[in-house]
Structure 1
Amino acid sequence: MAELDNLLSQEELDALTAGLQDGSIEADTGLNSDVSVMRHDLTNEDSSLGVNIGAIDMINERFIRQFRLGLLEVLRTTPKVSMADVQIMKFNEYVKDLSAPLSVNTIRLNPLRGYSMAVIEPSIVFAALDNFFGGFGRGFDKLPPGRLFTPTESSIIKIMLDVLFGSLKEAWAPILAINCEHVSSEINPQFAQIADENDLVVVSRFVADLGRDVSGNIDLVYPYNSLKPIRDLLRSRVQTGDGDDVSDKEWSAELKSAAVDAELEITVELAQIETTLKKFEALSEGDVIYFSKSEYARMYVNSIPVFDADVGANGSQMAARVVKPLAPKK
């Protein structure tokens, strides 16, 4: 077997190098030389597979309804809570936009895997504190970076977390029964490591207004890995609750009570007459129009035929008596 270092001499190697440099020898003449290369990181998660954002939106809508009612009960004020778009991002990208101090709460949502996070801005905490003691919801926009929450402020945060946990449990109930557990609290989001820096998280942001020109954010952050095991539930069905659910019955009763006061226009049609434009233009006061009376008059509700009716009089007023309902047209 020939030795590999004897295949080309040094002079031949130098000639090849010079030919490539001056262009006399063509380069990149192999197969698939025009194919572009796309960088792919095997350690990076693909957010396009799995989690149904529409299902998270429905969960958030139910959460807002329950959270608003819960805050109304404990703070005796009517809060305004709105929902921002759900975002999927890397954990370090989310954390870098936060500035201490914040109420950063590590929570566990059994049976979801891992830990989640609830982040409440100080303006919400102080507005809730002012409302709780009978104020008008005054708050503070910024606090010194190292400022800790006092025991009274921490008590208000605990009350808000209790409301948040109950609302979150009700919101998730149609898809998955969860139990919420508070694990720890921090003021610096850098210390709440619920995921690695490059791991994906699902961020649900709620904008709350608890007082006079005071608003702030409440974030619920789920690790993407915690939602992957239930992606089939999130993808296959977005439920609004069971038919026997108490809240659904209350909602139906409120909808019915609101609908019964709606005004309807009822008209009664005795007959329809076909004529020409010439004959119609020739009509004048005192002319008599003859038509064949149907067995029943037709009663319309908002221009929709609903009943057959008899037309007559009741005392000094004209009246229509409902004879039979009409079957809807297929």
Structure 2
Amino acid sequence: MAESLLTPEELEALAGSVDSGDLETDTGFNMQARVVKHDLASEDSTLGVNLSSIDMINERFIRMFRLGLLDVLRTSPRINPARVRIMKFGDYLPDLKPPLSVTTVRTPPLRGSSMVLIEPNIIFSALDNFFGGFGRGIGALPPGRLFTPTETRIIKMMLDQLFMSLKEAWAPLMPVEVETVSSEINPQFAQIVDENDLIILSRFEAELGDEVKGFIDIVYPYAALKPFRELLRSRLQTGDGNEESDRLWLENMELASGDAQLQAKVELAKMKIPVRDFENFEEGQVLFFKKPDYARLIVNDVPIFESSVGAHGTQVAIKIENPIKPEETNE
């Protein structure tokens, strides 16, 4: 036993002083101080990761990803970003119901492994679009159901476009590679971090057609972005050093716009008729009007060209003669 620093006489005198009130017991400790609970083992999420930069990366990713899906699925999906969230990995997992397309990836120079999830509704809508349908989804699936080879092929096509778009989205900040590590249907098997570790969740709500909605998640370990927090704090310059990416984006946009459908019609003539005459119209009645020099080719309700009407073989045809100036459209 350790030797006491006070003699028995000193201990007795000290106890007597306390009992009598001669010894001051107010030592200056503030027992009313506000206490904040802190777990020393948890990660600090206030170390300056700029989520606004992640938002800008996500916006660029959406532009690239939409064009990529348009190229392979021949449909223009609607993709909207949800708010970027920082949360514990263990809090993220319970809301995920298998089967899902769960792909673990490495994204050097980011440390560790990240994760990409695609909901089945998106997969089956893409499958229906690919084979000429209207993008129908699917109802609930058994938790243990595996994806068929055809479904897996569609998933790979989507992931190829997703990875390419993700690299393009990060390029203005720093070059990032995307390397597939594994694929699962249950996110519980893709332990990219411990359940108490923090993640950065980027969720994208997608609609490919037939009003089928689902989500695509990109999950980064928080620790993977911490070494680059100074870069993320700085303003993301989307144009600096990335002229080639912008050129490719413009080319893809021009290519995609070439498939847009326009409604064209030919207006032979038009006339103004009083209401009283219109009310007296009968079947077989003949209307007389002045023949115009040219018919008008109208595209999406906008007069574009003056045209001559004729025939080519057995079909009625028009020959484009003159462009119509904007000031002439109201004449």
Structure 1 and Structure 2 fold alike (TM over 0.5):
yes
Q: Deviations over 1:120-172 (max 9, x none)?
A: 00000111111111111111132111111111111111111100000001000
User: Cα 1:80–1:5, aligned 2, differ >3 Å: closer, same or farther?
Assistant: same
Give 2:159's aligned amino acid: L
| Residue equivalent to 1:63 | 61
Question: Could you tell me which residue of structure 2 aligns to residue 261 of structure 1?
Answer: none
Residue 30 (str. 1) matches residue 19 (str. 2): no
- Choose from 46, 49, 54 the match for 1:48: 46
Q: Which ranges of structure 1 fall in alignment gaps of 5 or more residues?
A: 256-330
Write the mapping of 1:1-330 to structure 2, written as runs, cut at 5 A: 3=4, 7=8, 29-34=26-31, 35-242=33-240, 245-246=243-244, 248=246
Determine the C-alpha separation between the residues in 2 that align with 1:151 and 1:25.
Answer: 87
Paired with 2:122 and 2:16, the residues of 1 have a C-alpha distance of 75
SS in 1 for 2:54: helix
2:168–2:245 Cα contact (<8 Å) kept: no
1:179 CA displacement: 1.0
Work out the CA distance in 2 between the residues paired with 1:206 and 1:118: 11
Which stretches in structure 2 are left out of the alignment for 5+ residues? Answer: 255-331
Distance 1:2 1:156, change over 3 A: closer
1:32 CA displacement: 2.2
Q: Secondary structure at the match of 1:165?
A: helix
- Is contact 2:98–2:143 with CA below 8 Å preserved after alignment? yes
Amino acid in the other structure paired with 1:50: G
Give the aligned residue type for 1:170: E
Q: Could you say if the C-alpha distance between residues 39 and 73 of structure 1 is closer, same or farther in structure 2, counting changes exceeding 3 Å? A: same
User: Cα distance 1:243–1:222, how it changes in 2: closer, same or farther (>3 A)?
Assistant: closer
Q: Which amino acid aligns with 1:81?
A: I
Tell me the SS of whatever aligns to 1:230.
helix
Query: Could you say if the C-alpha distance between residues 26 and 93 of structure 1 is closer, same or farther in structure 2, counting changes exceeding 3 Å?
Result: farther
Deviations 1:274-319 (A, max 9, x none): xxxxxxxxxxxxxxxxxxxxxxxxxxxxxxxxxxxxxxxxxxxxxx
Instruction: State the secondary structure of the residue aligned to 2:167.
Output: helix
Number of residue pairs the alignment of both structures matches? 249
TM-score (norm 2): 0.68
- Matching residue of 2:261: none
**Could you tell me which residue of structure 1 aligns to residue 266 of structure 2?**
none
The answer to whether the 8 Å contact 2:172/2:241 transfers is: no
* Structure 1 residue 29 displacement after superposition: 3.4
Moved over 6 A (4+): 11-17, 24-28
Distance 2:68 2:22 in 1: 78
CA distance in 2, matches of 1:70, 1:99: 27
User: Which amino acid is the alignment partner of residue 150 of structure 2?
Assistant: T
Counterpart AA for 1:241? G
Change in 2 beyond 3 A, CA 1:233/1:243: closer
1:6 deviates by 7.3
Which AA in structure 1 matches 2:41? T
Call closer, same or farther: CA 1:31–1:217 in 2, change over 3 Å. Answer: same
Amino acid paired to 2:224: S
| Identical columns (%) | 60
The 1-side partners of 2:143 and 2:9 are apart by 68
Cα deviation for residue 190 of structure 1 reads 0.7
Q: Identify which range, 134-143 or 64-73, moves more after superposition.
A: 134-143
- Residue identity in the other structure for 1:239: Q
CA distance in 1: counterparts of 2:53 and 2:95, whole angstroms: 26
Task: State the 1:220 CA deviation.
Answer: 0.2
The CA deviation string for residues 66-107 of structure 1, in whole angstroms up to 9 with x for no partner, is 000000000011111111110000110111111111111101
Looking at structure 2, the residues matched to 90 and 28 of structure 1 have their Cα atoms a distance apart, in angstroms, of 45
